[in-house]
Amino acid sequence: MTEAVEYDVVVLGGGPAGENLVDRARAAGLSTALVESELIGGECSYWACVPSKALLRPALARADARRVPGLAAAVQGPLDREAVFAHRDYWTGDWKDDGQVDWLDSVGAHVYRGHGRLYGVRKVAVGSPEGEHHVLAARHAVVVATGSRAVVPDLPGITGARPWTSREATSARYVPPRLLIVGGSVVAAEMATAWQALGSRVTMLVRGGGLLPRMEPFAGELVAETLREAGAVVRTGVSVEAVVRDGATGPVTVVLEGGETLEGDELLIATGRSPRTEDIGLETVGLKPGDWIEVDDSLRSTTHDWLYAIGDVNHRALLTHQVKYQARIAGAAIAARAAGTPAVEGVRWGAHTATADTEAVPQVVFTDPEAAAVGPTLAAAERAGHRVRAVDYDLSKVSGAGLYADGYRGHARMLVDLDRGVLLGATFVGPGAAELLHAATVAVTGEVPVERLWHAVPSFPTISEVWLRLLETYRDGS
């Protein structure tokens, strides 16, 4: 049997969660090994956040410019597809992770390339592509940070149809003339925005009643309206029953419930994510392969005191900024426990306890228009038993919005917890609305009394003036 190599911490997965955990562990003086079977940097760097935003930025900039007098006539032409793809490729490092590896080397982490699996208590076995085998033993913690993957439903014909998932949608090197998208959540809406702008004729097939179902209904409604104006077809309340592909490179046909068929050149499935835990040895420690890993607020397993799970695998918040936050929390908790600091066992002990990934989760959807939200929706808050008041304001009535773009359309909502007199959540949708979100996140996380928010005076003329209008609406009871 291969002799085990010992480290203080072994991290399984080299995406943003794993990288940030390594950084925190090394800063605390703990020896650390990281195991990764693909590219260091993970899904976000190569197939999700970074390439998708690189594709979306030209689309959104052009949309904004077309609403500005004196500039609109100059930007009516098509996007330079090759330049957009080159911009995307630059930001993904052409799908090479040399820079990420160099950084890990600079902080003194040991990188093991290959497939890693739990190998019993505090051990990880690694099989490299070259056939080498290593066993790593952790003195203090094994951290699972293997992320998630796109779910492809088991539809008749789906395997032979070779559908796109988020990976293919963000890395494709040609523009399909007709793109069918199944789904209505963030990936579906963002990719519809990007590929419609690049020249595809997009058709969205949404089983539910609208886009962006985890946000306030008005956000998805405005995004759908703008997509339709751009030429996309958005159909809600429809269900795909089967898929057929004509040969190796021919068109793909989807069969809807009721027998209607639609044809496209590519099919993107964007219907959810599942944890990448089906083949990482969970069964060797009594956990079920393929499941999400349940953790406490220090991101430690609820069943094993040496096992941590950060990022998508714990299902708390599948967002890159939140998984980095979790990595910082878990790193601090591991370091404190390794040093024998008893205060880390407190229920809510400062830097060692995660709360922002459950109580005040901010998210931006980079569609046209942008949609941004923190905290629960009105419906979710009421289901949770909060006594809340929704305060709404038409963003187009704010001076800064009118100066930002002609014909500006947008909406803002803040939720006031009537028992505590603080903000519980906020949602903004409109061009440039993403930049409103962090102020809301600070107010929600800091539980700033509404009375104090009156003294946070927004600059004129900015879209942030909506904060004053929301507070006036709340005061006036309208």
Residue numbering of the annotated binding site for NAD(+): 183-190, 272
Which two structure tokens, joined as six digits, stand for 381? 């808050």
Distance in angstroms (rounded) separating the CA atoms of residues 208 and 446: 34
What's the Cα-to-Cα distance from 73 to each of 63, 66, 205, rounded to whole Å? 12, 7, 33
Distance in angstroms (rounded) separating the CA atoms of residues 163 and 293: 28
- Neighbouring CB atoms inside 10 A of 227's CB total 21
Helix then strand then coil, % of the chain, to nearest 5? 40, 25, 35
Whether 185 contacts 213, CB under 8 Å? yes
Distance in angstroms (rounded) separating the CA atoms of residues 109 and 308: 18
Phi, psi of 157 (to 5 degrees): 85, 0
Q: Which three-class secondary structure state does DSSP give residue 155? A: coil
Whether 238 contacts 206, CB under 8 Å? yes
Whether 355 contacts 348, CB under 8 Å? yes
Strand ranges in 329-382 using DSSP code E only, listed in sequence order: 362-365, 370-374
Burial class of 6 by CB neighbour count within 10 A (0 to 12, 13 to 18, 19+): middle
Which two structure tokens, joined as six digits, stand for 59? 């689309």
Binding site, annotated residues: 53, 116, 146-148, 183-190, 272, 312
Quick one: which of 268, 272, 238 has its CA closest to 255? 238
Distance in angstroms (rounded) separating the CA atoms of residues 34 and 104: 9
> Where do runs of H (alpha helix) occur along 10-93?
16-27, 42-47, 49-65, 81-91
Whether omega for the bond prior to residue 51 falls within 30 degrees of 0, making it cis, is no
Binding site, annotated residues for FAD: 53, 116, 146-148, 312
Distance in angstroms (rounded) separating the CA atoms of residues 302 and 305: 7
Q: Largest Cα–Cα distance of the chain, in whole Å? A: 74
Which two structure tokens, joined as six digits, stand for 200? 């595809």
Q: Which three-class secondary structure state does DSSP give residue 455? A: coil
